[in-house]
Structure 1
């Protein structure tokens, strides 16, 4: 079974500005908020679809970088994406803090867990940070928006 996600995640306590339609923040466990970057959002924002896991980029696309830099003003956010099929696949993440990208994109099988840890998420009783954040609830990004 396939799993794909493309989203931005931040801490729920951070002050979040307004977003253009159809974008919206969704609450997650572990005191997080997620901004799913589904089909409509990518079109409105002019962002690439999963640039690291689908298009195999290794550097942050300029449109994605600028969008995340704006969102991260005064807070930390992580951009995440994954494409997994039958237990095999790739994850990617990037940390942005106070309007600046922190380091290079992480492309690894645990990239999302690394990103969530950078926000202070702990696995607790869950298998890992991914499960603690409830990211397995839907099989694809658009599923979060239905």
Structure 2
């Protein structure tokens, strides 16, 4: 993994090949460090563990941080799929579930009931979209209120 550090500007505005220190801290706290001259590329360690790590660049009294995320090459696969078993399940939007117990928009009780029902029928999974706050919970001011007014 290579990173390019642009050439730094001196305080007087002139270009300069300033020395920049870098520090990579892994989730576990292991640290890798080095130096690079502005305008040059540098390589991070190639055997980083999976996880969320922090890269810190320091030049004089300036400091910048960024996240370095190392993900597995493949996502988790259940043993049944590795054994080439055929599985089925249901995909659902939580808010589309209806029951006599909810207020017209699905909740986790409805989801649990659906999980039980799918399992009773031989299903192996539920595909569920990400669960986010409802639009009613997101505070937002329209850019222009004219579209909220009925004209004519």
TM-score, length-scaled by structure 2: 0.20
Which structure would you say has the larger Rg? 2
Greater helix proportion: 1
TM-score, length-scaled by structure 1: 0.21
